[in-house]
Structures are given as C-alpha cells and as structure tokens.
Amino acid sequence: MKLNFSENHKLLFSVVFFGFIALSILIAIIPAIEVNSNDPMCGVNTLTPAEFRGLNTYVSEGCLYCHTQQVRPLQLDKVFGRPSSPLDYSYLTPLDQIRMTPAVLGSERTGPDLSNIGNRQPSEIWHHIHLYNPRSVVKSSIMQAYPWLYEIKENPDSNDLVIPVPDEYAPKNGKVVATQKAKDLVAYLLFLKQKPIEGISQIEESTSKNLSGSDAGAQLFNTNCASCHQQNGEGISKTFPPLKNSATVNSDNPDKHIRTVLFGLKGEAINGIVYPAEMPPQKDNLTNEQIAEIINYERSSWGNNGKKITADDVRKIRAEGK
Amino acid sequence: MAVERPIAPGKVKIDDLINEDDRLTKLIYSYLVSATAWLIFGSLVGLYLAIRFIYPDFGVAQWLSFGRLRPIHTNVVFWGWTSLAMIALALYVIPRTSQRPLFSIALARKALYVINASILIGVIYLFMGYNNGGQEYREFIWPAMMLFALGIISHTLNFYKTISLRGTKEIYISNWYILAAFLWTIVVVVIAYIPWYQNALGETVIQGYYMHMGVGMWFTPLVLGLTYYFLPLLLNKPIYSYSLGVLAFWTQMVFYSLIGAHHFVFAPIPWWLQTVAIVFSIGMVITLTAGTGNFLLTMKGSFRKVARSYSLPFILVGVIFYFLASAQGSLEALREFNQLWHFTNYTIAHSHLTMYGFVVFLIWGGIYALLPRLTGKEPSHLLIGIHFWFALLGLLIYGFALMIGGTMQGKSWIEGLPFIHSVELMIPYWIWRAVGGTFMFTSHIIFAYNLYKMKPLPHPHKQIDLAGEQI
Ligand code: HEM
Ligand code: HEM
C-alpha cells in the first residue's frame, strides 16, 4: 500500500482517528486525572445531605447558567473574594448514578459570582425573599423568580418557615412558606463560603487599591450591605431597616453602629418595629479598615451626618467582643 | 438577465437536475424536515429566552424557567437542527463524490429515528429539570446522548463503507473533512461521558475540551467539508487549491484539539494548559486563512454568479463569518481581551456569529443548492431573498448589540461599579437582541415554508419543466 493519504482511506482515517485520540489523551485526559486526584481538603469541604439536595436544585434549575463560582486572580474579581483554588471544588462528585459532576464554575456572569455568597449574604431569610421574587429586594434584577419553591398557606403552623415577602410582592391572601426544596437550596448557598487556604489570604487587605475614601466605602457598601439596606439606604419596609435617618448611624457614639456591623443584630425593635430577618455579623468577612470605610460611608450618605470613625475604633470593639 | 424584483435580483433558475435514487432523495428530505422542526422549536425557545431578559416574570412556570429552557435551546439547535441538517447534506455529498451509491439507505433511515429519539428524550428530561450537571452542550443525560452517539456511529460505518468502495482513485477533500468530523465526534462524546476522571476540577478540564471539540471537531469540519463540495458545484469550477484544503485539514486536527482550555482562562486549572490553548488559538489563524482564502479565491472572478444565484450568497456570508467570527475567538482567548470579555454577553455574540453566521448560513446555502436539483422544485426566489436578508439582518443586530453591550459590561466590572450596574446597562442591548432574534425567527418560518415548497414529488423527474439557463 502506498503512503498516500488521498488514495488510501485506511491510512488517512486511521491517522485521523488515532491521532486525535492521542492528542485528546494528552490535552484532556491526563490533565483531568491530574486535577481529579488533587484532593487534600476532602473531609473539610463536603456537603451535608441538605446541602447536597440543594446543589441538585441548583443544577436542575440551571442557576449555573447565570452565576459563576470562579474568582479569577484579577483585580476586577476581588469584590467576590479571594482567587478560587482547585481545593474549593473538591466537594464535587457525580450527582447520582446517571448524572455527572456539575459544572458549577460557569461561563457567564449575568448575575454575580457566588463562590463566597454564604459570607457575603449570610441571611437565610434574605435568600428566601430573593428566591421568591428577586425584584422584591433588588429592584432592577432580571433573575428568574422561583415561586414554586414556596407554598402559600392561610394558617401556617409553628414549624413553618414563613417568609416576610414585602407587601408589594406578597400574595393577596395567605403567607409564603418555604418548602424543603427551598430550604435545601438556601442551605447550599450558605455552604458557599470560601474556606481558608494556606497562602491565599481570606480577606483582602483593601478591596481596590486604586479606590480611596468614600469611593471604596461606596463600593464595599454596595457589595456587602445594599442587597438588604438598598443602595438608597432606605431598606425595605417592614423587612430590612433603613439606614437613612437611623438613630444608630447618626449617633455621636459610634460603638453601637460598629458593634452591629461586626457582630450582627437580631430581634431588637428599631423605631418600634421588630424586623423578621437578622443582620448577619461581618466580622469574619471584612477587615477593620473595610468596616471603617463602610461605616463612614453610611454616616455621610443619604443626608446622614454621623461622626466619622477610624479602623482603630473597629479594632477596639472587635477586641472587646460582642 | 433582467432584474425582476429588487430583493431577489433575477436569480437564474437551475436546470441541471440530478437523477438520484428516489429513496435517497426522500431520506435526505426527511432528515431536513426533522432538522427544520428542531430549528423552529429551538429558536422559538431562544426567542422566548431573549424576551425573558427584558420581562423576567413573563411566564412563571417551573418548566418555563430560564435555567431549564436555556440548555433546551442550545442542545436542540446543536444536535437537532444543525447536526441533522449537516448529515442530510453529507448523505448526498459522500456518495456523489465517491461515485458510489450510499452503502445502506436502510441504516441511514434508522439512524434518523435514533437521533430524533435521543433529542426528544434529552429535551423531556431537561424540561423535568433532570440536567446532566449543567455542563454546556453536555446537558443530555448519558442514555440520551448514547443514542445520539449510536446514530453517529452508524453513519460513520455507512460513510466509511461508501468511501472505501469509491469509484474514484482519490478521496475527495470533502470526504476527508466529513468523515473525520464523524470519527472525532465519537471520540469526543465518549471521553466526555466517561465519569472516572471527572470529579472536582477534572470535570472542568474535560468541559473545556468538550465545548471546543463540539464546535471545532464536529460542526466546523463537517460544514467545511460540505462547502468544499457545494461551492465548486455552484460555481461550476474546481476548488482553487487542493493542497490549501489539505493544509487547513491537518492544522485543524492538531491546533483545534489543543485549545479547549481557552474557555477557562484564569480559572484554577493548570496554567500550562491555558497557555497551550491560547498559543494554539492564535495558531488557528493559519487554518482560518488557508480555509477562507481557498474559498474566496475559488469565488474570485465569479462574483457576478454569486449575485445571480440564490444559494451562493448564503455561502459567501458563511465563509466571511467563518473567518471573522473565528478570528474573534482567537482574540477572546488572549489574556488581555479575555479579562474584558470573559463572562460577558460578548461570548454570546461570538457563539451566534459562529454557529449561526458561519455554520447555519453554509447549511442553508447547501440546502438551497441541493434540494431543487434533487426534487425539481424551486421555492419562490423572493421568499429565499427574504429568508436571506431577515436572517442576516437579525444576526447582525443580535451580534452587534451583544458585542457592544458585552464590552460595556466588562468595562463596568473593571471600573469596579456595583454589579447591578452591569445588569441595568444591558437592558437596551437585550432589547435589540430580541429584535434581531425576531427577524431570525421569522426567517426560519420562511425557510420552513420554502422547504415545504421543495418537497419531492411522488413521481419525481417525470414532467418537470424548469425554465432558465445553466449556471
Ligand atoms: C431566533 C434565534 C435565536 C435567538 C433569539 C437566540 C437566543 C439565545 C439566548 C437568549 C441565549 C442565552 C444567552 C444567555 O444565557 O445569556 C442563547 C444561547 C445560545 N444560543 Fe441562541 N438564539 C437563537 C438561535 C440560535 C441558533 C440557530 C444557534 C445555533 C445554531 C444558537 C446557539 C446558541 C448557543 C451556542 C448559545 C450558548 C451561548 C454561550 O453559552 O456562550 N442560537 N441564544
Ligand atoms: C479560531 C477559531 C476559534 C477560536 C480561537 C475560538 C475561541 C473561543 C473562546 C476563547 C471562547 C470563550 C470565550 C469566553 O468564554 O470568554 C469561545 C466560545 C465559543 N465559541 Fe469559539 N472560537 C473559535 C471558533 C469557533 C467556531 C468556528 C465556533 C462554532 C462553530 C465557535 C463557537 C463557540 C461557542 C458556541 C462558544 C461559547 C461556549 C461557551 O458557552 O462558553 N467558536 N470561542
């Protein structure tokens, strides 16, 4: 037989077929095996059964088509946390006998990255309100609403997790109650906390080096606080308290303000209203400098006029503890 | 040739009817009917998704949810429409250029059922929320995808047999590309569905490979192979250079195989893998230039023919998009540009400029070239003209809106503005995308009608009278 590709079909198509297999082994299978077994966090980074069911819903509802879980080592990704490490994904295995390992890294960021959402937005209630209808907490969101993860009950009993959906979006009659599916999905979202990894600092020293003063404060506020208190500082009536004209924010003694941001707040009446959701603590999520920037931003925005503070004030209260 | 209507300037009619086996004609037609049904369904879903970006609460039902419909859109247009239409054309091109009848028509007919079943099952499961894991274009669970693979394998055997019994000495270049695409795709699907090395980031490495081999080792070579047949046929002259075609072929095989990781630039997968992918993404410019140059040089001197034919304009557009949109892909792979464009709607523009502007336009060119010759029936030239302009205009609106919008999205992130700003700024561009999508969808309806007009007669080739001249 002649070694002539265009006249010898056996030769041509063997080279095409086996050559491609060889290339595929080199470029896909070997590197895949290499990262596949790279798994020392096993045991630390595993899902509870509820979180695992939540991951299932995350996949079947296709959340990953709009949300990435992949923080790149780039300045513009710093708002979402530290750069992702291979270890962050060590919990991922096939979903069941038929389905395969989910592709949570994603390829499009129509919505924000969720690698660290459990730290950035730790409030369970907020997640439920948001899933029931995203526009009730983020006015210009275009995210899909998931009302079928909730039931409407006339008389919820004491075991039911009632979701305080703002009036404008709430059903006419009855209360919104989370189903098990909704609870599981939120459990998975809250699992998404970047775990400490040696060599990669958990909290970035300053979000953006090129931003200073109120710019940095505004950015930090918008990233970490605005989903509840809103960008205009007005909160959401009966669901999340306003910061505009708030006594705590305008008070000359900032201790209460700092303490609330650091350690969170729960069940306390503010201006006579007890809010159903709790304010999540930020102490593990933000540095003293960042918290000072946020607090100063809050104290000088929307007509507020509170005394400015420094990172040292935050440090002091952090040391005192709750 | 007098200009009859401004929109379809006096296209010449064809008269070189091909006397083919009726059974093959019917088989090809039934592939095209299935393909077109999937096109209408898939792009209707696409249009609905486009509207959901503007009215997120338009239709709140579980099975209408964005996250369920999106994989239905992509898989249906990939495996249903584009793949079946390309197979339909290959069923003609391979026997024709091998000068041998198709090895087994019965086998090819069975494969159509199997592939349709595969897509139907995959889609039903996606509607129910049973998604393989959200890996793009791999969302069908393995039992569904196995049926698809079965279909591809039976075509591979069928084509291989036909080629090995060929009546010519040389294997025509089309058949290199077409059969290679089938062989490569079998490998790709098998590697993608073996779970052993796909825990944690292993999945990501395979996903990069799979995503790019899907477009690069299936759609691209298959549709290029078809074009190596239809372009010379329509121009009535040989391809400009055989060896350029061969050069493009081998570089396609080697370079394209290595660039999958450019879908995960800056991701925590091995850095060397990303660098290899970026380097060969740039290397692809060689393949592109060889391929496009070959086609354009073949057309050189015949552009009057292009203007007077109704199928050549589709092919010309397809060839131009092949070059421009793939070169765009090479740019997107560079770390500098990737930083700006990755994760934005710019990628969506690229997907449609390539899959639609390149692959789908070439398919349409092939269909309009082949079917009238097979069945002796031509659709109205005006309607083909409308199909062409609506599809092209729609795609340009779609592509430019998202390229501009995607760039602004990327800039807004780099400037460190609140995330929601990048959502708000996209609204006008998403509206334009829906406008472009409406044009595209309308053109698909017209295409379906044209296809109906080209339906084979029960007793073909008896008393058909095609006026007009030889092209
Ligand atoms: C009426 C025509 C069409 C419209 C309105 C349309 C619309 C859309 C929309 C809205 C998305 C989702 C984008 C996102 O998640 O941000 C999408 C994705 C996609 N569509 Fe289409 N589409 C159409 C036709 C097609 C056709 C004919 C093809 C291929 C042959 C195609 C291939 C794709 C691909 C590959 C994606 C995924 C893109 C990516 O992830 O990068 N589309 N389309
Ligand atoms: C020289 C050739 C090409 C190169 C170097 C290239 C490069 C790229 C890159 C870098 C991306 C990822 C963009 C990002 O996520 O930021 C991409 C996405 C994509 N490309 Fe290409 N491309 C090429 C040709 C093509 C062709 C010919 C097709 C279709 C037949 C195609 C279809 C797609 C699709 C569908 C996606 C979206 C996949 C996703 O969901 O991420 N590309 N391409």
CATH number at residue B421: 1.20.210.10
User: In angstroms, what CA-CA distances link A211 with A75, A207, A316, B189?
Assistant: 12, 8, 25, 48
For the stretch B124-140, pLDDT in tens is 999 999 999 999 999 99
Integer Cα distance of B76 and B68 in angstroms:
13
Position B463 scores a pLDDT of 41
| Amino acid present at A207 | T
Integer Cα distance of A129 and A165 in angstroms:
6
Position B470 scores a pLDDT of 34
Phi-psi region of B266 (alpha: psi -120 to 50; beta: other; left: phi over 0): left
User: Which residues of chain B lie closer than 8 angstroms to A103, CB-CB?
Assistant: 133-136, 203-204, 207
User: In angstroms, what CA-CA distances link B311 with A9, B124, B306, B354, B392?
Assistant: 31, 35, 8, 19, 14
**Whole-prediction pTM:** 0.89
| Backbone φ and ψ of A70, nearest 5° | -165, 100
Position A23 scores a pLDDT of 96
Choose from B136, B179, B204 for mutation: most chain A CBs within 10 A: B204
Q: How far is Cα of residue B455 from the mean position of the Cα atoms in its chain?
A: 23
Nearest to A7 by CA among B98, B40, B78, B463: B98
3-state SS assignment for residue B417: coil
Position A2 scores a pLDDT of 55
Identify which of B70, B163, B197 has the shortest CB distance to residue A62.
B70
Domain containing B216 equals 22-453
- Count, residues in chain B: 471
| Domain tally, chain B | 1
CATH topology of domain A213-320: Cytochrome Bc1 Complex; Chain D, domain 2 (1.10.760)
Residue B409 CB–ligand 2 contact under 6 Å = no
The closest residue, in CA terms, to atom 20 on ligand 2 is: B351
Choose from A42, A107, A152 for mutation: most chain B CBs within 10 A: A107
**Domain regions of chain A by residue span:** 122-183, 213-320
The closest residue, in CA terms, to atom 7 on ligand 1 is: B46
User: Which residues of chain B lie closer than 8 angstroms to A6, CB-CB?
Assistant: 170-171, 173, 176, 246
pLDDT averages per 10-residue partition of chain B, 471 residues: 36 56 92 98 98 91 93 98 98 94 96 98 96 95 97 97 93 96 97 92 94 95 97 93 93 92 91 92 94 95 90 96 96 94 97 98 97 92 97 98 98 92 97 98 98 84 40 33
How many other CB atoms are found less than 10 A from the CB of residue B135?
Answer: 25
Residue B314 near residue B361, CB atoms below 8 Å: yes
Task: Tell me the average pLDDT of chain A.
Answer: 87
Identify which of B62, B270, B424 has the shortest CB distance to residue A140.
B424
Within chain A, strands assigned E span 150-153, 162-163, 175-178, 269-270, 273-274
User: Which residues of chain A lie closer than 8 angstroms to B67, CB-CB?
Assistant: 60-66, 144
Identify which of A6, A23, A138 has the shortest CB distance to residue B170.
A6
Position A201 scores a pLDDT of 54
This model of the complex carries an ipTM of 0.91
For the stretch A48-78, pLDDT in tens is 999 999 999 999 999 999 999 999 999 999 8
| Backbone φ and ψ of B424, nearest 5° | -65, -40
For the stretch B55-109, pLDDT in tens is 999 887 889 999 999 999 999 999 999 999 999 999 999 999 999 999 999 999 9
Position A65 scores a pLDDT of 97
Position B20 scores a pLDDT of 66
Cross-chain residue pair B132–A65, CB shorter than 8 Å: no
Question: Is the CB of residue B157 less than 8 Å away from at least one CB of chain A?
Answer: no
Distance B229 CA to ligand 2 centre (A): 25
Choose from B174, B203, B346, B433 for mutation: most chain A CBs within 10 A: B203
**Residue A26 scores a pLDDT above 90:** yes
User: Within a domain: residue B245?
Assistant: yes
For the stretch A234-276, pLDDT in tens is 888 778 889 988 888 988 888 889 989 999 888 888 888 888 7
**Residue A220 scores a pLDDT above 90:** no
User: Within a domain: residue B16?
Assistant: no
**Residue A107 scores a pLDDT above 50:** yes
Token pair, residue B36, equals 């077109």
**Residue A210 scores a pLDDT above 70:** no
For the stretch A279-297, pLDDT in tens is 888 888 888 888 999 999 9
Position A269 scores a pLDDT of 83
Token pair, residue A2, equals 């002649």
pLDDT average, residue stretch A187-212: 66
